[in-house]
Amino acid sequence: MADGGMQLGVQLIVWGQRRANDRAAVLAEAAAAGYAGVELSPPPDDQVDTALAELRQNGLKVVSSHIGTGALATDLDRHLRWLERTGARFLACSGQDYPTSEQYRAVAKKLDEAGARCRANGVTLCYHNHAHEITHDLFGLGHILRGTDPANVRLNLDTYWVQRGGQDPVSIIRLLGDRVGYLHLKDMLADGSFGEVGAGRLDWAGIRQAAEDLRLPLVVVEQDRTARTPLESSEMSRRFLREHWGI
């Protein structure tokens, strides 16, 4: 995979509130864990220059940002400015568990409009799934895919949440094919909880091959919660990906 140019990043969610309160130290830990890229949403406008300096000091690049569907109408411009400043080209967008087809279609319309704006700015908008879009034979994800132009909206497919939703991540990656923009990587432990990459029951060899076959440009470790320290958790996933994926 290294030869194919796949980038690796880490989503900073595992550091919790420290992302906002102690950003410089968090970035230093991400770099110490062995990552060159981070998924980092824009800081307040008056902190952008400082954040960029902290990234440079730690040899880090922003590979993606994250926004919620509820913020697309109010916050998309700020994310696009941030992505332009950092050179990142992916914006993940997560939604809620919408109970009706009508609600999913309305969200898909908003995503498509936002995705067109992103595309005009050289950014790929990728819808981030949780389990609720996967359950009931991809009920929610199907509405998102059918209601958006593939040129405007792709997927930030999350391996754990696909499994949690009752589907096999390898099969779903292959099924969705070119609609997948990039992956979020986390494992599932025997009790169904979040696990570091390689610590649980997901088929990482199969996921690797599926990602390689699609020539995905980016994968991001996203450990929502952990029993370890954020640094230990991130190092553990990083070590597995270095040893088993070659990135």
**What does the block give as tokens for 226?**
């952990």
Task: Enter the pTM of the model.
Answer: 0.97
Partners of residue 155 on adjacent β-strands: 127, 180
Q: What is the distance between the alpha carbons of residues 51 and 56, in angstroms, rounded to a whole number?
A: 9
For residue 4, what pLDDT band results from cuts at 50, 70 and 90? Answer: low
Whether 223 and 15 have beta carbons less than 8 Å apart is answered as no
124-174 pLDDT, tens digit each: 999 999 999 999 999 999 999 999 999 999 999 999 999 999 999 999 999
Whether 40 and 63 have beta carbons less than 8 Å apart is answered as no
79-92 pLDDT, tens digit each: 999 999 999 999 99
99-122 pLDDT, tens digit each: 999 999 999 999 999 999 999 999
Nearest-5° Cα angle at 128, 125 to 131 = 160
Q: What is the distance between the alpha carbons of residues 79 and 88, in angstroms, rounded to a whole number?
A: 10
Sorted by where each starts, the structural domains of the chain and their CATH numbers stand as 2-244 (3.20.20.150)
Burial of 213-235, coded b for 16+ CB within 10 Å and e otherwise, reads ebebbbbbbbbeebeeebbebbb
Asked whether residue 2 carries a pLDDT value surpassing 60, the answer given is no
Transcribe 195-211 into DSSP letters. Answer: E-TTSSSS-HHHHHHHH
11-56 pLDDT, tens digit each: 999 999 999 999 999 999 999 999 999 999 999 999 999 999 999 9
